[in-house]
Amino acid sequence: MFACPDCRTALVDLRCAACDTSFPDRDGVPVLISRRAPADTVSSVASAYEEIYTGRTEVWVDQGRTPEFLRYFASLVESTRPQSVLEIGCGEGFLLSTVKAERKAAVDVSANALHLARKKTSAQFAVAFAEHLPFADASFDVVYSVGVMEHFVDDGAASSDILRVLRPGGTYLCLIHTHMDFSASLRQKVREYISPSFRPVALLRWLGKKVRRPIKQPIQHAYTVASARDCLKGAGFSVNREITLRSDHDAPLIGHHVVIFIATKSA
CATH of the domain at 251: 3.40.50.150
Strands (DSSP E) found in 77-207: 84-88, 103-108, 124-127, 140-146, 166-177
Please give the Cα distance from 169 to 187 (Å, whole number). Answer: 40
Query: What per-residue confidence (pLDDT) applies to 198?
Result: 82
Query: 210: Cβ–Cβ under 8 A, 6 or more apart, which residues?
Result: none
Query: What per-residue confidence (pLDDT) applies to 267?
Result: 85
186 pLDDT tier (thresholds 50, 70, 90)? low
157 pLDDT tier (thresholds 50, 70, 90)? very high
Q: Residue 151 is which amino acid?
A: H
**Average pLDDT of the chain, as a whole number:** 90
Query: What per-residue confidence (pLDDT) applies to 216?
Result: 75
**Residue 207, pLDDT above cutoff 70:** no
Q: What is the rounded average pLDDT of the residues 156-176?
A: 97
Domain range for 116 is: 29-180+214-264
Task: Flag whether 198 is in a domain.
Answer: no
Query: 18: Cβ–Cβ under 8 A, 6 or more apart, which residues?
Result: 4, 7, 9
Q: Residue 203 is which amino acid?
A: L
**Residue 214, pLDDT above cutoff 80:** no
Task: Flag whether 185 is in a domain.
Answer: no
How many domains would you assign to the chain?
1
DSSP H stretches of helix in 53-110: 67-78, 94-98
Look up residue 9 and give its DSSP letter: P
Q: Return the higher-pLDDT residue of 161 and 187.
A: 161
Q: Return the higher-pLDDT residue of 255 and 77.
A: 77
**Residue 210, pLDDT above cutoff 80:** no
Query: What per-residue confidence (pLDDT) applies to 134?
Result: 98
> 16 has which bridge partners?
21
Q: What is the rounded average pLDDT of the residues 250-265?
A: 94
Q: What is the rounded average pLDDT of the residues 250-260?
A: 93
Task: Flag whether 15 is in a domain.
Answer: no
**Residue 211, pLDDT above cutoff 70:** no
Strands (DSSP E) found in 24-73: 25-26, 29-30
> 104 has which bridge partners?
85
Task: Flag whether 118 is in a domain.
Answer: yes
**Residue 190, pLDDT above cutoff 70:** no
**pLDDT one-digit tens code per residue, 12-42:** 999 999 999 999 999 999 999 999 888 888 8
64 conformational bin, left if phi > 0, alpha if psi -120 to 50, beta if neither: left
Residue in 2, 10, 12, 5 with CA at minimum distance from that of residue 36: 5
Query: What per-residue confidence (pLDDT) applies to 122?
Result: 95
Please give the Cα distance from 127 to 107 (Å, whole number). Answer: 6
Task: Flag whether 189 is in a domain.
Answer: no
Q: Model pTM?
A: 0.89
**pLDDT one-digit tens code per residue, 81-137:** 999 999 999 999 999 999 999 999 999 999 999 999 999 999 999 999 999 999 999
Task: Flag whether 134 is in a domain.
Answer: yes
Picking from 46-50, 153-157, 185-189, which range would have the lowest pLDDT averaged per residue? 185-189
Task: Flag whether 85 is in a domain.
Answer: yes
CB 113 within 8 Å of CB 132? no
Picking from 107-121, 182-196, 225-239, 245-259, which range would have the lowest pLDDT averaged per residue? 182-196
Task: Flag whether 21 is in a domain.
Answer: no
